Chains A and B, each alone.
Chain A
């Protein structure tokens, strides 16, 4: 498929010339939003299970949560949604939410504390892939009836120890925090599956939209919830069509048959930039591109070598050539738009400086192996690094493999160097801090293969305590500051070189306003959209 895509992309570039100016003929109806996107990653619509991009896009618009992000003001962080307010107990372990009155599910059933209790218990009990977002607070199938409890109009959640309230609430704002309609879901339960099978392809939420249909690899159709508690959305119908090819998306956008094209490649973006009636949005997303150095390697474990290699990446060159429009330079472990994110970029390509540092460390004729998954942009980054490393006398051997091959070796701490991407799992800084800067037991026996720091055999030392402290800091602003400090130290001294953050470029009809993809923390919101 990759070759197919390449061939098509090549052809499309050739055609870019020919396209010139296409007259706009059609127009989608004023109250309908038509989007072209790749939706072949959706494997389920159940919020307790959904963990893919296109699935999160659906979920965000269909399910209300206790707390949620305002699409037009993501910087404000979580805000009340189905919970109107909350109080934290003195020991900091119990959060009691008061539910908003008068909100209804699409079925007409009222949204109650009992539904919230059911939804969160259900997510823990089902124990699907994203369940760790909740179970990291000590919830499990055995204790869930004691720690997540509805009482009248309130819901209390009791964690196993004290955590920063912002940490817990950010996690509840993830897809898995979606509140489902207990009555409807349980009416569709089969063999004690808590309605999982039914919810994979149906919806039972209270959000701005309800799912009309999901046809795999074809389309997702949503219709507006006229009773949405924040007011009926302007777009009465949202249709997301699966259009694989950038060139096809572009053609549809230029013809006015769609309002939004979400997978335009840089060539097609360049081709339609500045055309009448079409606008291009750039939005930062959560994915980071980084390389990391195995600390079991005696030379790579030297602090000067770690830093020297960070001066041997041609950040600007890559950003302005093959990563143009897809990635932007970013050198800290929290993606911008996260709480505590920083924009410091201390590293640039500086061969002389790197050489001096390597000499200081007494390193000469270093030969290392980098493992890369067979994805075009990653291999291209590896080749660029190979070139710049060579200029400082380091021979970089690139091993390209399938996800399984490379990940297996990375987890087994066998790679000298790894080059790859990391996407945050939930909208709280802990998601990245807890993996880039946390590794309490670095011994081989610990087998903490889920932690990036462990995979690189790196003992973060004091930073472990800093991560633990940030997780329990009650004040949101102080907590943000803690992450800022942590990242400044991390970017200088850790064996991780974060290089780039993902940008998503979206082509849209100029008339479409307020379409926000959700930044790095969340997914797209359709309810504020007008046109």
Chain B
């Protein structure tokens, strides 16, 4: 089938070409963003006042050993050359070996990222399903006790240090009440029971039909995910409320009311329909933020995620791991951006 059509002014435009162009443009954007990201992290990594060799060899290594390693790592080459070496490796999917874990960085990331993904996804789901209704209701019932309560909840979530909430949460729900599991992704008895397929324990345990493990994993994830959920809920509900307030004052809302539409239809179909697009940005940003890994939450809950992986690597000048981790986080950001762009087009015909 011919994919070309004749346009009015006689020029031929190919829809296939336009799709290819869009894809090429998107890929180009990704490539440029990633290149910039790589370059900046690389430079920061090289000017950090940490001697990577001391952390590799220890303080008492001999001078010969020090120099041999220095040359072996290519640190004697000019920075620009080092950068291109690195770039070439990354393009081939080789992030090098992490010094701290003695494994390829890519394997480490495959191990730690699912832990963060699992936590961030559930956290965001909680944030969306509680935060958006809360924000909408607060805006509609502006100035009432409902609005005040919602604002206090949001404010507390926004301003309360997450490590404090985490420790208190553990103390109350795990320590005293015993409702949830303790730190870690699963209890000691359930470690290494289900084979790793996706790396997401909630999914892997279902795939393997191990409902015990699934229940245990849920009991372990519920508290840290709720905490992150609370955090993102606070943000999402505040933004939803302010978007909604703007809409509720608009003339079309008054018109809709005059037309005799039900309040439900006015709020959810008309006003809410108009804030979907900015909300997508808010949710995507909040999700991306959680996907970076919440270091404090990960430390308190002994959650082996990407946040603590990158932080530990950074503090020990394990630059392969830091750069690898940063590339992955950067990719996640870019992909989420593209995804939310696509959602815009779906929800907003003007953006098509």
Q: A242-B302, A248-B302, A404-B51 are in contact. Are A221 and B192 (CB under 8 A)?
A: yes
Q: Does A361 contact B (CB under 8 A)?
A: no
A-side contacts of B50, CB under 8 Å: 402, 404
Query: Which of A4-12, A65-73, A275-283, A318-326 faces chain B?
Result: A4-12
- Give the shortest distance, in Å, between A8 (CB) and chain B (any CB): 5
Convert B101-112 into 0s and 1s, putting 1 for each residue whose CB lies closer than 8 angstroms to a CB of A: 111000010010
- Give the shortest distance, in Å, between A137 (CB) and chain B (any CB): 16
B61 touches A129 (CB 8 A): yes
Q: Does B287 contact A (CB under 8 A)?
A: no
User: CB within 8 A of B102: which of A11, A127, A201, A255?
Assistant: A201
A-side contacts of B178, CB under 8 Å: 25, 255
A15 touches B191 (CB 8 A): no
Q: A1-B311, A4-B296, A404-B54 are in contact. Are A15 and B168 (CB under 8 A)?
A: yes
| Cα(A245)–Cα(B178), bound, Å | 20
B58 touches A51 (CB 8 A): yes
Q: Does B62 contact A (CB under 8 A)?
A: yes
Q: Does A243 contact B (CB under 8 A)?
A: yes
Convert B163-179 into 0s and 1s, putting 1 for each residue whose CB lies closer than 8 angstroms to a CB of A: 11001101100111010
Q: Does A405 contact B (CB under 8 A)?
A: yes
- Give the shortest distance, in Å, between B260 (CB) and chain A (any CB): 55
A-side contacts of B302, CB under 8 Å: 241-244, 248
A403 touches B101 (CB 8 A): no
- Give the shortest distance, in Å, between A17 (CB) and chain B (any CB): 11
B188 touches A213 (CB 8 A): no
Q: Does A407 contact B (CB under 8 A)?
A: yes
A4 touches B295 (CB 8 A): yes
| Cα(A215)–Cα(B54), bound, Å | 24
B174 touches A251 (CB 8 A): yes
Q: Does A257 contact B (CB under 8 A)?
A: yes
A19 touches B304 (CB 8 A): no
Q: Does A132 contact B (CB under 8 A)?
A: yes
A257 touches B182 (CB 8 A): yes
A-side contacts of B103, CB under 8 Å: 201, 216
B-side contacts of A12, CB under 8 Å: 167
Q: Does B312 contact A (CB under 8 A)?
A: yes
A43 touches B100 (CB 8 A): yes
A-side contacts of B245, CB under 8 Å: none
B167 touches A450 (CB 8 A): no
| Cα(A32)–Cα(B189), bound, Å | 10
B171 touches A19 (CB 8 A): yes
Q: Does B187 contact A (CB under 8 A)?
A: yes
Q: Does A252 contact B (CB under 8 A)?
A: yes
A245 touches B174 (CB 8 A): no
Q: Does B308 contact A (CB under 8 A)?
A: yes
Q: Does B65 contact A (CB under 8 A)?
A: yes
Q: A4-B299, A127-B65, A129-B58 are in contact. Are A219 and B191 (CB under 8 A)?
A: yes
- Please report which residues of chain B, range 281-328, place their CB below 8 angstroms from some CB of chain A when the two chains form the complex: 295-296, 299-302, 304, 308-309, 311-312, 315
- Give the shortest distance, in Å, between B119 (CB) and chain A (any CB): 15
A-side contacts of B167, CB under 8 Å: 8, 11-12, 15, 247-248
A404 touches B183 (CB 8 A): no
Q: A12-B167, A40-B312, A245-B299 are in contact. Are A252 and B304 (CB under 8 A)?
A: no
- Name 11 extra pairs, CB < 8 A, besides A217-B309, A251-B175: A4-B295, A11-B161, A11-B167, A40-B312, A200-B102, A215-B304, A216-B101, A239-B191, A241-B184, A402-B49, A405-B49
Interface residues of A (CB under 8 A from B): 1, 4, 7-8, 11-12, 15, 18-19, 22, 25, 28-29, 32, 34, 40, 43-44, 51, 127, 129, 132, 197, 200-201, 212-213, 215-219, 221, 239, 241-245, 247-248, 251-252, 254-255, 257, 402-405, 407, 425, 449-450
Closest 6 CB pairs of A and B: A216-B101, A200-B102, A404-B51, A218-B304, A244-B299, A11-B164
A-B contact pairs, 6 of them (CB 8 A): A11-B163, A25-B178, A201-B103, A217-B101, A244-B299, A255-B174
